[in-house]
Chains A and B, each alone.
Chain A
Amino acid sequence: MDDPRNRLIDTLLEEELGDAAPPDLADRVLARAFPAKRWRLPLPWLVAAAAALLAVLGVAQLWLWPHYPEPSATGSYELVAGDAVGRGAILRTTDQPAELALGGYGQVEIRPGSIVRIDGQPFAEAIYLEAGEVICDVGTGVGSFAVNSPAGSVQVTGTRFTVQVLHKGEQPMRSMIVRVLMGAVVLVTAETTIQLVAGQEKKAEEKGGTVVGVVTAKGDNFLEVKGDGELKARRYVPEWVGGAPAQGGGFNKEMVKTIGKITVGSRVRLEWKFEERPRVVKVEVIKSEDKK
């Protein structure tokens, strides 16, 4: 259709007879001529702005983020070790109980006559129960919690339970009783690992072992040794041989003789076993007090 006149008629016929009506393009033209303003910062400015924003957020986080609570104690207690209540400090209660708060999720009631060392770290709180009894209330979903004792370890993630280290007279024994009041705990001893649930109670005791430590006291037929990492010395007696005393039974004379040669303050390695009480199987002086 090279003839413009023919083309003109064709164009007009499309409008008159067809549907070639012109659309209203004003909005589209205006949108392209006046695009919505977009802030476009140069890249260095963008990087600087992002860094500044991160810095502000970092400071805000430090300022606003809830701090992890440090261990704290209330009630009646005395500090055996450490300047203040904190990790590594040892607390002793006498005739009144004390409360220990750990990480905001572990509440420990230290019963009268107990010795507790605060161990652990944030979100993995732990105490070492040297003697006495604790009642623990552990919240769920925050962190782990463990009560270690000479007889074993109780690990929990949300429950209420008690741990009691048994005594024989003044001497704490290498045994304990765990009672679970709510939830469940895992009891770990040298021999076994078992789970205890609410209502269950378990006595755990060590049947024997080796202690390396310092002789703190001695008698004709006993040694008291404070093992490395232990808070209190324990008494070990020689093995019993020969039946009842009336039948000629008595302490192993060789061991009594060996004990007699050991001086208080010496560093020893002591093998023991539990027969009614801890008994010395073998003792070896690593460093004598005399040689200091």
Chain B
Amino acid sequence: MFSISDPSGFIVVHAPTCRQFNFLAPFVGPGATINYMTREDLAALVRSQQAELFRYIRYLGAMGHAVVEDLVQETFLAAYRSPNLPPAHDFRRQSAYLRGIARNLFLAHCRQLRASPIRADSEALERAEAVWRDEFLRDGDGFDYVEALRHCLTRLDDRQRRFLELRYREGKSRSEMAQLLAMTEDGIKSALQRIRQLLGECVQRRLAVEQV
């Protein structure tokens, strides 16, 4: 099903089948949008993809809950208006398509906010996409990776676990952590990076073992 609506709201057409109706575009006024999904289709798309998209946009570097939510919504709205969204039964292609929209929107967002500390460019985002696709998803939904990470967390020593508790569970900033642990902020930053690197290597090893 799809619908056509023009800006005045007068023309609303619903038609059966999926996305072979581009020929209708010339027949509606300038500024009209052709929507290729029904309300139910869009609801199903959002509910099946929003968790991964939310995680992915945070992974790209979007800061702040509101910004991430906005980008997720904009991604779905762009997909809703697009004639090229893969069908629902091809979940992986659909997921990849949404990630592509999300990257473009995030890039545009970063360009709008010139004062933002986030630096993003197309190449960096493509590298991020490659890691997400090849190392995190690995033709799946990333569940194996998360399971491996949970396992690796149990292997950390108390000091490392203390660092992660302060940073992620208690939400302490680096300066707060530095005060609590009698370290410099750079020391905290380096320690956290080291722990994450250790966890990443642990996850890779565990996934490699599981694959064997």
Tell me what chain A mostly uses at the interface: helix, strand, loop, or mixed. helix
Complex contact A16–B149 (CB within 8 A): yes
| Cβ contacts B133-160/A at 8 Å (1 or 0 each) | 0011000000001100110010000000
Chain B residues positioned under 8 Å from A32 (CB to CB) = 73, 77
Can you identify 30 A-B contacts, CB atoms within 8 angstroms? A1-B61, A4-B128, A4-B130, A4-B132, A5-B200, A6-B200, A7-B128, A8-B132, A8-B135, A9-B149, A11-B55, A11-B58, A12-B149, A13-B164, A16-B150, A17-B168, A18-B169, A22-B51, A24-B47, A26-B46, A29-B73, A29-B76, A29-B77, A30-B43, A30-B46, A32-B73, A33-B77, A34-B39, A37-B9, A39-B9
Interface membership of A261, Cβ < 8 A:
no
Max chain B C-beta neighbours (<10 A), residue from A14, A22, A29:
A29
Complex contact A20–B77 (CB within 8 A): no
Chain B residues positioned under 8 Å from A14 (CB to CB) = 58, 168
| A4-B128, A25-B69 as given contacts; A17 in contact with B196, CB under 8 Å | no
Interface membership of A28, Cβ < 8 A:
yes
Complex contact A13–B132 (CB within 8 A): no
Complex contact A25–B76 (CB within 8 A): yes
A-B contact count (CB 8 A): 107
Which of A5, A17, A25, A40 interacts with B72 by CB under 8 Å?
Answer: A25
Complex contact B136–A8 (CB within 8 A): yes
Chain B residues positioned under 8 Å from A40 (CB to CB) = 8-9
Which residues of B approach A to under 8 Å, CB–CB?
A: 8-9, 35, 39, 42-43, 46-47, 50-51, 54-55, 58-59, 61, 69, 72-73, 76-77, 80, 124, 127-128, 130-132, 135-136, 145-146, 149-150, 153, 164-165, 167-169, 171, 193, 196-197, 199-200, 203
In angstroms, Cα B196 to Cα A5, docked, is 9
Which of A5, A7, A23, A29 interacts with B61 by CB under 8 Å?
Answer: A7
Q: How many residues of A contact B (CB 8 A)?
A: 34
Interface membership of A95, Cβ < 8 A:
no
Interface membership of A168, Cβ < 8 A:
no
In angstroms, Cα B10 to Cα A38, docked, is 10
| A5-B200, A8-B136, A16-B153 as given contacts; A22 in contact with B50, CB under 8 Å | yes
Q: Which residues from 187 to 225 on chain A have a C-beta closer than 8 Å to any C-beta of chain B?
A: none
